[in-house]
């Protein structure tokens, strides 16, 4: 497991560009909202900790992870420096999990190829609820924090 020995919330603030002059868009799925709200909290806290202004963070909510691609595309059009797509898909008894995960990852990849605003993939694709809890503020830290740090670094690259 990739996160078994990694805390997703640890970062060296001195090694990250100051986010004061960057604008961020965050699109968050309402499905599995106990998980996605925790990821959103981790992302916004890290952005602000690294200098982002609260007024430079735009958040939109979409019904589920499948809709993250459309929400990300809309945010790319709103003069932001980076977008964070936050979702949580937990494996069930049908192939729905596979279809949603593949569509979202391919859609976000496509947005990164086609447009000049980076979209950070912060979609948990877990086998069970406990794994999602562990990665949204639990024993492995918060993937939202990790996504925010990636967004800051990508915004700096975009603007260099």
φ/ψ of 142, rounded to 5, equals -135, 115
Closest by CA to 123, choosing from 98, 148, 145, 143, is 143
Strand (E) or helix (H) holding 72: helix 68-76
The answer to whether residue 51 sits within a structural domain is: yes
The answer to whether residue 54 sits within a structural domain is: yes
Helix, strand, or coil (residue 109): helix
Question: CA-CA distance, 66 to 84, in Å (whole number)?
Answer: 14
The answer to whether residue 48 sits within a structural domain is: yes
Q: What is the CATH number of the domain that holds 154?
A: 3.40.50.960
Looking at the predicted structure, is the pLDDT value of residue 7 above 80? no
Looking at the predicted structure, is the pLDDT value of residue 130 above 80? yes
φ/ψ of 7, rounded to 5, equals -100, 115
**56: its two tokens:** 């430079």
Q: Tell me which of 5-9, 68-72, 81-85, 156-160 is least confident.
A: 5-9
The answer to whether residue 66 sits within a structural domain is: yes
The answer to whether residue 43 sits within a structural domain is: yes
**122: its two tokens:** 């912060």
The answer to whether residue 53 sits within a structural domain is: yes
Q: What is the pTM of this model?
A: 0.94
pLDDT of residue 1: 42
Catalytic residue numbers read 96
pLDDT single digits (tens) 78-126: 999 999 999 999 998 888 889 999 999 999 999 999 999 999 999 999 9
pLDDT of residue 9: 82
Range of the domain at 132: 32-95+118-158
The answer to whether residue 56 sits within a structural domain is: yes
The answer to whether residue 3 sits within a structural domain is: no
pLDDT single digits (tens) 33-65: 999 999 999 999 999 999 999 999 999 999 999
How many distinct structural domains can be found in the chain? 1
Q: Are the C-beta atoms of 80 and 114 separated by less than 8 Å?
A: no
């Amino acid at each position: 497991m990739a996160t078994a020995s990694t805390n997703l919330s640890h970062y060296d603030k001195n090694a990250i560009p100051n986010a004061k002059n960057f604008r961020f868009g965050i699109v968050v799925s309402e499905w599995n909202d106990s998980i996605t709200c925790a990821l959103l909290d981790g992302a916004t806290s890290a952005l602000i900790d690294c200098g982002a202004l609260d007024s430079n963070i735009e958040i939109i909510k979409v019904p589920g992870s499948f809709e993250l691609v459309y929400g990300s595309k809309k945010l790319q059009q709103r003069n932001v420096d980076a977008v964070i797509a936050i979702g949580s898909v937990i494996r069930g008894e049908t192939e729905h999990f596979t279809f949603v995960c593949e569509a979202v990852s391919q859609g976000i990849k496509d947005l990164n190829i086609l447009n000049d605003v980076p979209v950070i993939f912060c979609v948990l694709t877990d086998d069970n609820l406990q794994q999602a809890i562990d990665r949204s503020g639990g024993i492995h830290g918060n993937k939202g924090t990790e996504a925010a740090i990636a967004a800051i670094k990508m915004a700096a690259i975009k603007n260099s």
